[in-house]
Amino acid sequence: MARVPSAVVAATGLVGGYGVARRTGKRQLGGAVLAVAGAAAAQQWRTRAGGRAAGALTAAYVAAFAGSHPLAKKVGAWPSVLGVAGAVAVASWAVADRKAA
């Protein structure tokens, strides 16, 4: 089975969570997607980079989610979500995926 980089899992959680919430009109469903992907990414981060790195990346994931809301007021919803997802993906790759490759 091919390994999915944690950067992809984290970015997909942020983008997918927003997409599901927007498409269905159910914020809780989008939140569930966000949470499941975040938990999966956190497990990968812990395995690949250790507990401290996983804690920091999890904090970045949550901060990206929270920060996307005020950013969306300035640049729009999709650009905001894509921007924070890209930032989390880059951080995830730099801290956890690059070492595992």
For residues 20 and 3, give the distance between their C-alpha atoms in angstroms, rounded to a whole number: 24
What confidence score (pLDDT) does residue 3 get?
85
What confidence score (pLDDT) does residue 1 get?
47
H-helix segments, 25-76: 27-49, 51-75
Q: Split the chain (101 residues) into runs of 10 and give each run's mean pLDDT.
A: 86 98 97 98 96 98 97 97 98 90 62
For residues 70 and 38, give the distance between their C-alpha atoms in angstroms, rounded to a whole number: 21
According to DSSP, residue 25 is labeled: S
Q: Give pTM, 2 decimals.
A: 0.93
